[in-house]
């Protein structure tokens, strides 16, 4: 053993096979249902780049930005 502590999730969200931005939306919804300090494990087959891009689009929509340049995301 290398001294690392294994983190055990309190909840697991299975987003495998779902396409962005659905994993982002599902994760946001799940975060709003867990308590502060709990760990949410998200299983996904989507790449981090796709998730980050979708999260930026979601943020723009939530902030009521009616237009955005995808190259700036």
Q: What is the pTM of this model?
A: 0.59
CB atoms within 10 A of CB 54: 19
Q: Sign of dihedral through CA atoms 15, 46, 53, 11?
A: positive
The domain spans of the chain are 11-63
Predicted confidence (pLDDT) per residue in 27-57, tens digit: 888 888 988 888 888 888 876 666 666 666 6
Q: Is the pLDDT at 5 greater than 90, yes or no?
A: no
What count of Cα atoms within 13 Å lies in the side-chain half-sphere of residue 27? Answer: 21
Contacts of residue 64, Cβ cutoff 8 Å, sequence gap at least 6: none
């Amino acid at each position: 053993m290398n001294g690392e502590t294994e983190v055990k999730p309190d909840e697991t969200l299975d987003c495998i096979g779902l396409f962005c931005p659905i994993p982002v939306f599902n994760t946001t919804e799940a975060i709003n249902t867990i308590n502060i300090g709990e760990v949410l494990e998200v299983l996904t087959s989507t790449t981090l780049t796709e998730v980050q891009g979708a999260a930026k689009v979601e943020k723009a929509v939530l902030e009521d930005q009616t237009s955005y340049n995808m190259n700036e995301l």
